[in-house]
Amino acid sequence: MLVVREKDTVVIPCTGKEEIKLRTFTTDHKLQGVDNTFFMRLTYLRVLDLSDSLVQTIPDYIGNLIYLRLFDLDVTNISCLPESIGSLQNLLMLNLKRCKYLHSLPLATTQLCNLRRLGLAGTPINQVPKGIGRLKFLNDLDGFPIGGGSDNTKMQDGWNSQELAHLSQLRRLDLNKLERATPWSSTDALLLTDKKHLKKLNLCCTKPTDEEYSEKGISNFPTWLSTSQLSSLTYLRLIDCKSCVHLPPIGQLPNLKYLKINGASAITKIGPEFVGCWEGNLRSTEAVAFPKLEVLVIEDMPNWEEWSFVEEEEEVQEEEASAAAKEGGEDGIAASKQKGEEAPSPTPRSSWLLPCLTRLDLVGCPKLRALPPRLGQQATNLKVLLIREAECLKTVEDLPFLSGRLMISNLPQVRELRAGGCPNLRCVEELGGLEQLRLYKDMQDISSPWVSMLQEQHHQLNGDEHVLEVNEWL
């Protein structure tokens, strides 16, 4: 039984030879297969949705559906597509996501000259036709398997990343098998040139294996990525980039609103290279890092230990400048000039970093020792801070602008917790090593639920020998 939709849902038997002038067709998800006879009856189709069905093969006659605009095979059992698909010159969307038996695309895929969207995410595609760059109107490429490519064959094991250079209309791009990208060369800087429309970018490496990356593989990224070309990007995910030892200068992206970094296990330090928007002393430039970033999620970073936004020397210089301004005013500045030193700024730079950040999630970062000193002073719009599974993080402080939810959990190494000026602190749990809790007066009334829970947990772990000390902090 098949369901045909054109405004209203109609049920028809798949028998007979009469032509059916319908534009939209979808199944009831029990469809076992289709044959040429069936397609011959639906030659006027604009939308063919076979998603979530049991269909395993697509007959050659599919090429006669010349009016077809959308062809959806999401979560089907197909293992191949016929070459006749190249005749669908009006096709705008081809969805092949989550087809677990589909390992190759037909050569004719590159003939779909009007294609706008190609969905391959969750499908184990490896053999692809050379020439994806011919599809110049593509604006959504969900699942681009990177490979070395070849000059000698029409089919290749993944697309060469250089073929991206011709896809100037992209709005969304998902790159898979990023570790297979070609080593950096003078032409690689052109890969993302003219991607002025690109708003969503996912960079994904292959799932973890026991095999270690070579030095050559490690050097491929992040120099391969030129953030200076992505002026419209609003959404960026870096997933399982285990060969990445340094992050690219993501802080330069002027319109980025969402950033997620997950599984970059080779990274031990995130430093000024991450900010990447200054020349020399940060205080001497008006540049703003992450000017529109609203959500920052960092997850599954098992070896990440240090996080800073500027070099340690500059941090000290700015602290000294601030102290001199407070203690000596103009006299302090004059004294510095007499010693031949560069006069410090009267006050530290304000709002040069993360001015729009509203949410920060740190999950699965067991070796991270501290938050960046400047975070609390710069992220003036921070409303939600989630910290989980960060066993070495001993201090969370100086967040004067945090105005929403603060959630602290699974920090077994924390010995002392001080809380004040956090009226929305609603979740504090799994602090197995906590020995002392200090609360400002403004926290006394709102902290009762989670303080009682902490005391009970402490008692269960330590019995009556050690009582959790709770003091008022003036």
Q: Please name the residues in contact with 51: beta carbons below 8 A apart, sequence gap of 6 or more.
A: 26, 72, 73, 74, 75, 76, 95
What pLDDT score does 172 carry?
Answer: 95
pTM of this prediction? Answer: 0.77
Model pLDDT for residues 341-374, shown as the tens digit of each residue: 444 443 345 568 999 999 999 999 999 998 998 8
Q: How many CB atoms lie within 10 A of CB 150?
A: 12
Q: Mean pLDDT across the chain, nearest whole number? A: 79
What pLDDT score does 20 carry?
Answer: 77
Mean pLDDT of 145-168: 83
What pLDDT score does 400 carry?
Answer: 73
Distance between CA 193 and CA 227 in Å, rounded? 10
What pLDDT score does 277 carry?
Answer: 53
Q: Which residue reads 């997620």 in tokens? A: 260
Angstrom distances, CA of residue 433 to CA of 236, 413, 436, 457? 36, 5, 9, 10
Q: Are 270 and 250 in contact (CB under 8 A)?
A: no
- Give 268 or 390, the one with higher predicted confidence: 268
Residue 72 token pair: 């959806």
What pLDDT score does 18 carry?
Answer: 64
Range of lowest pLDDT (115-119, 435-439, 469-473)? 469-473
Range of lowest pLDDT (137-151, 407-421, 425-439)? 407-421
What pLDDT score does 436 carry?
Answer: 82
Domain range list for the chain:
411-474
Most confident of 125-134, 185-194, 220-229: 125-134
What pLDDT score does 27 carry?
Answer: 82
- Per-residue pLDDT band for 33 (boundaries 50, 70, 90) equals confident
pLDDT tops 50 at residue 167: yes
- Per-residue pLDDT band for 330 (boundaries 50, 70, 90) equals very low
**Identity of the residue numbered 252:** Q
Mean pLDDT of 271-290: 67
- Give 48 or 205, the one with higher predicted confidence: 48
